[in-house]
C-alpha cells in the first residue's frame, strides 16, 4: 500500500490538510504524537486562552470541510479599533464594506475538535508512534517509525509546527529572528459589553489586543519584552494591569483563565519544498501575532495545495510542489513583512520623528476610505 500523502502533525493546519485531501478521495494518513481526546464533554468547560481570529475565507473553507465549531462558541467581530501611541487611530467597520463580519474569534480546542471529528468520521488512519527517519527517492518517500514500521507515500507533508522535525530531516535551513517579545494571553470577564469590537493599542513599544468572546468576555494578547511582569502577577492584579493598559475601555476586567506566555519569533525557511516533501503551517512560516494571521496563513497553504493538486495523479510531483512554493511565497512574505514592519515601526522608541509619522500615518489611512477598505478585504481573504 502506498499513500498519496502522509501528513506529519495533526494540529489545526495538518488536520485541515488531511480532511481536505481525503475529501478529494486521496489515500491519506496522519501521524500525530499527541492526538486530542475523542471525548468532547470537557470542551464545554471554561474558555480556551489560545484563540484565533479566523478570516471569512478560512471560515468558509472550514465549513466546506464540515469542521466549523458550534456558533455558540464563536464571536463575530464587526468592528476593529486600532490606536497608536500618540493620538493615531484607525477603525474598520464590517458595514462599511457591506460585510456581515470582519473576522470570527474561535477557540483552538473547539477548532481542533471539529477537525478531528472529521478525521475520525472519514476513517483517516492515525499513527501515534514517533517518526524515526525519512528517506526519499524520485518517485516516492518512506517514513520509518520508532517501532520499525515503514510507511510508503508519494508525499510527506510537514505540518509539525514551528520546530518542525520534517524540516530538519529535509535539511531545510530556517532563518529565525526573535522579536525579543513574548505574547502573553489570558481571558477576562468585562464589565461593559464589547459589542463585537476588537481593540488594539500600540503603547511604549508593546502591543495589546482585546479580542471579543461570546457574552461579556474577551481574550487578550499582550506582546511584551517583559512577560514575567504579567505572568507572575496574581489573577486580580493582572486583570487590573490589563484594564489600565486598555484605558478602562470595557470597564473593570476580572480574571477568567490563567495567563501563559509564548516566545515570538519570525521564521523563514529557505524553501518550503524538497524532493517528495512539503511544509505547511508553522513549519513553513511563523509571524508576529499582532494581525492574528498565523493560523490563517497555514489554512491558506492548505487551500492553495488542495486547489493546485485537484485531479493530478501524483501529489508529490516536482512541478506541483514547485508551484505550491511559488504561489505561497508572495502572500506569506507580504504578511510577514507587514506584521514585522508594523511591530518595528511602533517598537522604535529612539527616533524622535517616528511617533508623529506613525500616528499621522494611521490617521491618514483612516481618512482614505478606499485604501482602508482594500486593506481590510485583503486581511479577510476576499
- Cβ 78 to ligand FAD shortest distance, Å: 19
The b-or-e profile of 140-153 (16+ CB within 10 A means b, else e) is bbbbebeeeeebeb
- Cβ 129 to ligand FAD shortest distance, Å: 9
Note whether 143 and 150 are within 8 A (CB). yes
Q: Which is nearer to ligand FAD, 119 or 295 (CB)?
A: 295
* Residue 357, all three cell numbers: 509619522
Element (H, E) at 371: helix 369-379
- In the block, which residue shows the cell 492553495? 304
- Cβ 50 to ligand FAD shortest distance, Å: 5
Q: Which is nearer to ligand FAD, 281 or 347 (CB)?
A: 281
- In the block, which residue shows the cell 468572546? 213
Q: Which candidate, 145, 183, 160, places its Cα nearest to that of 284?
A: 160
Distance CA 158, CA 152 (A): 15
Note whether 145 and 127 are within 8 A (CB). yes
Q: Which is nearer to ligand FAD, 165 or 361 (CB)?
A: 165
- Cβ 360 to ligand FAD shortest distance, Å: 29
- Interface residues with ligand FAD (CB under 6 A)? 8-14, 31-34, 50-52, 131, 159-161, 165, 185, 221, 262, 281-282, 289, 292, 294-295, 298
- Cβ 278 to ligand FAD shortest distance, Å: 13
Element (H, E) at 35: none
Q: Which is nearer to ligand FAD, 65 or 159 (CB)?
A: 159
Q: Which is nearer to ligand FAD, 43 or 295 (CB)?
A: 295
Distance CA 205, CA 352 (A): 14
Q: Which is nearer to ligand FAD, 335 or 358 (CB)?
A: 335
- Cβ 63 to ligand FAD shortest distance, Å: 19
Amino acid at each position: 500500500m502506498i499513500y498519496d500523502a502522509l501528513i506529519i502533525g495533526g494540529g489545526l493546519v495538518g488536520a485541515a490538510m488531511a480532511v481536505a485531501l481525503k475529501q478529494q478521495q486521496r489515500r491519506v494518513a496522519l501521524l500525530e504524537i499527541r492526538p486530542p481526546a475523542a471525548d468532547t464533554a470537557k470542551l464545554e468547560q471554561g474558555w480556551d486562552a489560545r484563540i484565533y481570529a479566523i478570516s471569512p475565507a478560512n471560515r468558509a473553507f472550514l465549513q466546506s470541510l464540515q469542521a466549523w465549531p458550534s456558533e455558540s462558541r464563536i464571536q463575530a467581530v464587526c468592528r476593529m479599533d486600532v490606536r497608536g501611541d500618540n493620538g493615531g487611530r484607525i477603525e474598520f467597520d464590517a458595514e462599511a464594506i457591506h460585510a456581515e463580519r470582519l473576522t470570527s474569534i474561535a477557540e483552538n480546542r473547539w477548532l481542533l475538535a471539529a477537525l478531528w471529528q472529521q478525521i475520525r468520521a472519514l476513517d483517516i488512519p492515525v499513527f501515534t508512534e514517533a517518526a524515526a527517519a525519512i528517506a526519499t527517492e524520485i518517485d516516492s518517500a518512506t517514513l520509518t517509525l520508532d517501532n520499525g514500521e515503514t510507511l510508503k507515500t508519494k508525499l510527506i507533508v510537514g505540518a509539525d509546527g514551528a520546530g518542525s522535525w520534517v524540516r530538519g530531516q529535509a535539511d531545510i535551513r530556517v532563518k529565525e529572528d526573535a522579536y525579543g517579545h513574548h505574547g502573553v494571553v489570558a481571558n477576562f470577564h468585562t464589565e461593559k459589553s464589547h459589542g463585537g469590537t476588537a481593540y488594539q493599542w500600540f503603547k511604549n513599544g508593546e502591543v495589546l489586543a482585546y479580542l471579543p468572546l461570546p457574552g461579556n468576555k474577551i481574550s487578550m494578547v499582550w506582546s511584551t519584552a517583559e512577560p514575567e511582569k504579567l505572568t507572575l502577577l496574581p489573577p486580580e492584579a493582572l486583570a487590573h494591569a490589563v484594564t489600565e493598559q486598555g484605558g478602562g475601555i470595557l470597564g473593570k476586567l476580572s480574571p477568567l483563565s490563567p495567563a501563559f506566555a509564548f516566545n515570538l519569533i519570525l521564521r523563514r525557511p529557505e524553501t518550503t519544498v524538497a524532493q517528495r516533501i512539503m511544509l505547511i503551517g508553522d513549519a513553513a512560516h511563523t509571524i508576529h501575532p499582532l494581525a492574528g494571521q498565523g493560523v490563517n496563513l497555514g489554512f491558506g497553504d492548505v487551500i492553495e495545495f488542495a486547489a493546485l493538486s485537484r485531479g493530478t495523479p501524483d501529489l508529490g510531483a516536482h512541478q506541483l510542489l514547485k508551484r505550491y512554493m511559488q504561489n505561497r511565497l508572495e502572500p506569506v512574505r507580504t504578511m510577514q513583512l507587514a506584521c514585522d514592519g508594523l511591530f518595528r515601526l511602533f517598537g522604535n522608541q529612539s527616533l524622535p520623528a517616528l511617533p508623529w509619522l506613525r500616528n499621522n500615518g494611521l490617521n491618514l489611512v483612516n481618512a482614505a476610505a478606499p485604501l482602508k477598505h482594500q486593506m481590510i478585504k485583503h486581511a479577510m481573504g476576499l
